[in-house]
Amino acid sequence: MSAQVAAMAVDGGELPLGGGLLALVRPALNVLEPRGMLAVLSRAPSVREDLPSWCRVERHEYLGVERIAGSFDRHLIARGEFSVPLPSTVHEGRLVPRDGRLTASDVLEVAPLPSGADPFTGFAPRGARVEPGGPGYPFTLNEREHVAPQEVAKLYDQAVTSQWDATCDIPWDKVKPLSFPLAHAVAQIMTFLAENELSALYVPARFIPRIHPAYAEVAMFLASQLADEARHIDVFLKRARLCGVGLGTSSVTTSRSLLSLMETEDFTEMAFLLSVLGEGTFLDLLSFIERHAPDEPTAELTRRAKTDESRHVHFGLAHVRYGLANDPNLYGRLEEAVRRRAAALHGVAGVPAPVQDALTILAAGSAEPEAVARGHEAFRELLDTMHASRMRRLQHAGFTAQQAETISELHTPNFM
Amino acid sequence: MTSAKTILLGAVAYDPKVVTIWEGIREHFQEQGVPMDFALFSNYERQVEELLKGHIDIAWNTPLAHVRIRQHTSGKSLSLGMRDSDRDFHAKVIVRRDRDVKSLKDLEGKTLAVGSADSTQARILPLYFVAKEGVDLNRVNIFPFDTDLGKHGDTGTSEIDVLKALNEGRADAGTVGDLIWVNEQAAGHIDSSKVEVLWTTPGFDHCMFDALSSLAPEKVEPFKRALFAMRWDNPQHRKLLELEGLREWLPPREEGYASLQDALKQQRKEQ
């Protein structure tokens, strides 16, 4: 049906006003433009008394009744000015399934993200007709360029199809008993990963209530990210406990670093620090753990976590790239955010010692001095790899080589 | 708030929401730079007296109170504004389908449930108009619901009582205002297999802001300006307008009270 209709008719048969007639009259008036005309055909005499009164109360104009062919009444109503306005935007395109599937990207094509959104539309879904006069909502992310890159729907679709089950998708019964130093190393690494992933669960969650529901796909993508993090925390802690030596140590360095992340108040800065820099760096860390994993379940859970994290990095990159393209001041703000965070972590020397040691032993595969030397070398290479990847990623996001160098050097030694 | 410029408005506290309404409107007036405060009365008789004594500047009056102010001031009082919903009010005669009341004349010999003695829409005017149509009210068994006397029918309780009596078969017919009748129908509260409307009275007007002609123009004009600045699509205003039962404030008009004046004159003659 077209959005604007000038006149229409409904046949109310013998329905009284309070016996169902309004279920025909109200929706019909709802699609009329203001002053548009509705004819109500009726065989119920009481409607002659009730329809004018209802129109008065609802501020529609009752124009009169005519007896047609001696058998039924035709009442005429002009739609009043106080009804829900028709949408001012162009009508949505038609949603068509492709090969039996409907994706969020398909929806985005017919219902594109608006450049700005009104906090007074509350939780009304994008495209809904919104009755004016509702309360304002405390959403602060009300502009597309600050919140919603076009890629978000595709990433959400990927996230939905990539969910996995921490209970049974990891071959848990293949976990091998490890030597004491290696068991300690794995428990420490898994404790560290879980601690960081807890922050990755809490930090984006703070921003969901700030996102205007017109950009629901962003909130939905973040929800999938939260589900990913929950699953990672789950598998990392299961793997840690399977070592049988208790959990590892949580360092002050890690705690300070994650608090500074949690205190970030700007959505784009958060996406940059957490997803581009933090989770980006974690991709190399997870590859390292997968490569040196002492058994198949450890390799498998790390590989799966890495696939999920890679999606989060993509969203962060898309978000930052989109922001940089629209806001020339963003470069400066992001560099400043990294500097502020580095200043807050001033005095923090390097990777937390328990984590560095555990990664070294993991890469060594044993506590034999010769193996440990190899492990140490592998750890040093990991730091170089992380720096090189950050440089590549930052330049991909739109930073110059020099800016990328500065930012990468300032990045937290906690990785996340 | 207590300066000589402050407009003191009287309203009747027929429901706790009245406090919310006037506190909200007071805030809106303040935003408009119009100092206003309100005094709540427990009944309209007291409010009319206090307005006539000049103890309050403006009274938010029912039609009955408005007509009394007009009488006491020989029509010299100032009418300042009304709700859109106050214009062209009607009363309805509702009948049970199983009691064989096909015309107003059939009410004779039947039980007619009516609202409070001081309710314009549920008692005074429907009986006045029905009598004008030739029904001998002495031959009608009047079944009154005199609830909330002094509130002039504001609470709507007596109208709900009338509809309940009809639904339960304790009355053959009943009189209510059109607002309650269509709202109850729209909300699905009316069993239309049992009851239907028989007749609609001619239109009449409802509430009005009244002031004495001595009220300073420095209060009259700001009051109107602030009142008419309220908008349905403004979230703060809309909450108040919904509670007060209107979509927009409209200028006053007097012709809608002629029937009530006449009805009251007749009541006095009969007493």
Nearest to A49 among B183, B197, B235 (CB): B197
* Through-space distance between the first and last CA atoms of chain B, rounded to whole angstroms: 45
Q: b/e per residue, B147-186, with b = 16+ CB within 10 A?
A: bbebbbbbebbbbbbbbebbbeeebbbbbbbbbbbbbbbb
CA neighbor of A62 nearest in space, from A70, B270, A54, B80: A54
Partner B contacted by A339 (CB < 8 A): no
CB A113 within 8 A of CB A125: no
Partner A contacted by B84 (CB < 8 A): yes
Contacts of A56 in chain B (CB under 8 A): 85, 88, 90, 178
Structure confidence by residue, pLDDT tens digits, A150-171: 899 999 999 999 999 999 999 9
ipTM of the complex: 0.90
CA B158, B191, A24: angle at the middle one, nearest 5? 115
Residue A401's pLDDT is: 93
CA B129, B134, B135: angle at the middle one, nearest 5? 80
Q: Read off the pTM.
A: 0.85
Interface of A with B in 112-141 (CB under 8 A): 120, 132-136
The segments of chain A whose pLDDT lies below 70 read: 1-5, 87-90, 349
Contacts of A22 in chain B (CB under 8 A): 185-186
CB B173 within 8 A of CB B93: yes
Residue A114's pLDDT is: 94
Looking at chain B, the whole-number percentage of residues with pLDDT higher than 90 is 95
Residue A6's pLDDT is: 76
Q: Do B88 and A56 touch (CB under 8 A)?
A: yes
CA-based nearest residue in chain B for residue A131: B233
CA neighbor of A293 nearest in space, from A369, A236, A221: A236
Q: b/e per residue, B5-33, with b = 16+ CB within 10 A?
A: eebbbbbbbbeeebeebbebbbebbeebe
Residue A342's pLDDT is: 87
Determine the residue among B90, B196, B198 to mutate to test chain A binding: the one whose Cβ has the most chain A Cβ atoms within 10 Å: B196
Number of residues in chain A:
416
- Calpha distance A155→A161 (Å, rounded): 10
CA-based nearest residue in chain A for residue B200: A49
Nearest to A53 among B181, B233, B235 (CB): B181
How many A/B residue pairs have CB atoms within 8 Å? 64
Structure confidence by residue, pLDDT tens digits, B25-48: 999 999 999 999 999 999 999 999
Instruction: Decide if pLDDT at B218 tops 60.
Output: yes
Q: Do B199 and A136 touch (CB under 8 A)?
A: no
Structure confidence by residue, pLDDT tens digits, B250-259: 999 999 999 9
Q: Do B186 and A133 touch (CB under 8 A)?
A: no
Is the alpha carbon torsion for A313, A314, A319, A321 positive or negative? positive
Partner B contacted by A13 (CB < 8 A): no
Q: What are phi and psi of A354, to 5 degrees?
A: -60, -30
Partner A contacted by B224 (CB < 8 A): no
What's chain B's average pLDDT? 96
Eight-state DSSP code of residue A276: I
- Calpha distance A255→B184 (Å, rounded): 61
Q: What pairing do the DSSP bridges indicate for beta strands B141-144 and B173-177?
A: unpaired
* Banded pLDDT at B1 (limits 50, 70, 90): very low
Residue A398's pLDDT is: 86
Give the 3-state secondary structure of residue A169. Answer: coil
Kindly state the tokens that stand for A38.
């509705």
